Amino acid sequence: MGRIVMALCLVSGGVLYSQAPNQSNALRLVVVRDSRGVVQGAFQTRPQPYAATSHLPLGVALPKERDHHTEDGLVVNGFGFYAWDEGEDAHVRVFVLLPAPGEENRYLWTAGNVEELLQRRPIADYKLKLGEKCDISEMKKLGISPMSLQLDSKLPK
């Protein structure tokens, strides 16, 4: 399998899709929607569980919401997503994307190589069955309207 490159999708921009083959060759997509139900992106589940060196197949920036902070004061830059197959289910891990140590504590998606400027902090783990949908309620703690996740077998409309 080739290197998975992080797909960036601005909330105000278009929808991006990222795919990599899974072991069963069945199409299993995690669809990410904003609080209004608008698709922000989708990506195929991976056969391998998340590891610190894994590339996130989808990142969603928050260009219109730059004033949100974590409890420890770091500026929320967006969210990253990774999912892997666990039998018939998919395990989805959600990350908040924050300025990396040594970087200025500000919104950084407008500067250079964003992957090098941001650190990932896991905020949620979900197990989804095909067709199941859930809200990412942990986003409320950051003052952000929750996005939702859905495991599907086809591209969203």
Establish if 105 belongs to a structural domain: yes
From the list 124, 48, 52, the residue with the least C-alpha distance to 86 is: 48
Establish if 3 belongs to a structural domain: no
Establish if 123 belongs to a structural domain: yes
Establish if 1 belongs to a structural domain: no
State yes or no: pLDDT of 47 exceeds 50: yes
Is residue 47 within 8 A of residue 86, CB to CB? The reply is no
One-letter amino acid for residue 82 of the chain: Y
More confident residue, 38 or 156: 38
Establish if 64 belongs to a structural domain: yes
Establish if 111 belongs to a structural domain: yes
State yes or no: pLDDT of 156 exceeds 90: no
**pLDDT band per the 50, 70, 90 thresholds, residue 11:** very low
- DSSP string for 75-123: BP-EEEEEEEEETTEEEEEEEEEEEPTTS-SS--TTSS-HHHHEEEEEE
Using CA atoms, how far apart are residues 102 and 92, in angstroms rounded to an integer? 29
Establish if 2 belongs to a structural domain: no
Q: Whole domain around residue 136: which residue ranges?
A: 8-152
Total domains in the fold of the chain: 1
Neighbours of 89 (CB within 10 A): 17
- The pLDDT value recorded for residue 87 is 93
Establish if 37 belongs to a structural domain: yes
State yes or no: pLDDT of 97 exceeds 80: yes
